[in-house]
Amino acid sequence: MVTAVQPLPRTPGPARTAGAPASAPRLPSLRHLGPNWYAAVMGTAIVAGAGVALPVDVPGLRAACTGVWALSAVLLAVVLTARAAHWVHHRDQARAHLLDPAVAPFYGCLSMALLAVGGGTLTLGADVVGEGPATTAGFALFGAGTFVGLVTAVAVPYLMVVRHRLTPGSASPVWLLPVVAPMVSASTGPLLVPHLPPGQWREAMLLASYTMFGLSLLATMLVLPVVFARLVHHGPLPLALTPSLFLVLGPLGQSTTAVHKLADVAPEAIEAAYASALGALALVHGVPVMGFALLWLALAAAMVLRAARRGMPFTMGWWAFTFPVGTCVTGAGALAERTGLVAYAWLSVGLYAFLVTAWAVAAALTVRGLLCRELLAAPR
């Protein structure tokens, strides 16, 4: 999913002595490690977060989800370290990634990886490290993820307008990644409300989360029509990019999840009259949006099956089958709890089964690609 971009010219340095060997770059295996690798962290964390949010009681599920959350925390530390080394030792390639319209949107994944692991820390981390450390770590990850997400939501569209060279047929669901990150903050913010002092602090967190909810929702409404117009006027996406169609589910499921979580904590943070209205908003927003999510899921699945029959190769883009579907799991689960409808509960369970299967396949193929060094090779 990386297009060829010429690296920025380097500042002239001292002339090298004739015949002297050129210094080899350190850690060459990390040269093509892009921000899309954070998708593996997101996809792992959502398996834990969605599992613990299921509206059914499954023996042993919480313990399993705690183990998956711990794995996602380790993966986050590994990818953060590798990406930091990439910026230190391959700065020219890192800057080229920012100027590549196919890669730059993936910087939104950094924010969502921090927030996804942070959300799991608040809901599951106390079972491992205790309530106090889990809350502290959850606040830190939320703050870092929200800051990165808001910066990315502005910086990447700015680069798209002033630096990237885009053609009418280049629109992609990947464009949603920078603007959906604040929606993940809106879903995580409600977990922090009970830990804040009553009054101004809780109300500020609640309204800030609603602000990010609106920011992301309206930005999605701008991008999604462009993506669909590209499909209608220019045909299906290239085979390797077809899994990215599942990214559209992210803002749909995440917004449904966010509006319900915010309504749950509203009585603790705002006047009763407003809290009641926000509870109604959760239902009015969640039901139709989940319906559209199911419509898009059917369309995206049909396109993926078509691509698979034509030889769709494995890429890191397959992780798009995980996190966006996980947001629909939590969204359907929230609707089940608010309405009491068994249909939503079974929908949540069915989507979770798909999520776990997709995660297992993507994880296995990613490990194989790493062992074969295919995933870290220069893009073709």
pLDDT of residue 255: 97
| Contacts of residue 318, Cβ cutoff 8 Å, sequence gap at least 6 | 243, 358, 361, 362, 365
In one-letter notation, the amino acid at residue 239 is: L
The whole-number pLDDT of residue 4 equals 40
Give the range of the structural domain holding residue 70, as residue numbers without chain letter.
31-371
Helix axes 323-339, 38-52, angle to 10 degrees: 20
Is residue 378 assigned to a domain? no
Nearest to 123 by CA among 354, 358, 347, 333: 333
Q: How many domains does the chain have?
A: 1
Cα separation, 46 vs 60, whole angstroms = 17
Q: Which tens digits make up the pLDDT trace of 152-211?
A: 999 999 999 998 888 878 899 999 999 999 999 999 999 999 999 999 999 999 999 999
pLDDT of residue 24: 55
pLDDT of residue 291: 96
Examine residue 4 and state whether it is found in any structural domain, yes or no.
Answer: no
Q: Is residue 25 part of a domain?
A: no
* 355, containing H or E segment: helix 342-371
pLDDT in tens, 132-146: 999 999 999 999 999
User: How many CA atoms lie within 13 Å of 103's alpha carbon, on the beta-carbon side?
Assistant: 18
Q: Which two tokens stand for residue 234?
A: 């220019």
Q: 14 lies in a domain?
A: no
Q: How far apart are CA 328 and CA 326, in angstroms?
A: 5
In a domain, 26, yes or no: no
CA atoms of 10 and 8, how far apart (whole Å):
6
Nearest of 105, 104, 108, 117 to residue 42 by alpha carbon: 117
- What pLDDT sits at residue 10? 39
Please give the Cα distance from 16 to 11 (Å, whole number): 14
From the list 150, 362, 324, the residue with the least C-alpha distance to 248 is: 324
Residue 23 lies in a domain: no
Strand locations in 259-375, DSSP E? none
Q: What would the DSSP string read from start to end of 213-277?
A: HHHHHHHHHHHHHHHHHHHHHH-SPPGGGGGGGGGGHHHHHHHHHHHHHHHHHGGGTS-HHHHHH
Query: Is the residue at 145 inside a domain?
Result: yes
Gap between the Cα atoms of 52 and 65, Å rounded: 7
What is the rounded distance in angstroms from the CA atom of residue 262 to the CA atom of residue 67? 27
Q: For residues 92 and 13, is the Cβ–Cβ distance under 8 A?
A: no
In a domain, 377, yes or no: no
* pLDDT for position 373: 87
Q: What is the rounded CA–CA span in Å between residue 278 and residue 285?
A: 10
Parts of the chain with a pLDDT under 70: 1-25, 380
pLDDT of residue 17: 40
For tokens 């297009």, name the residue: 3
The reported pLDDT for the residue numbered 147 is: 97
CATH code of the domain containing 133? 1.50.10.150
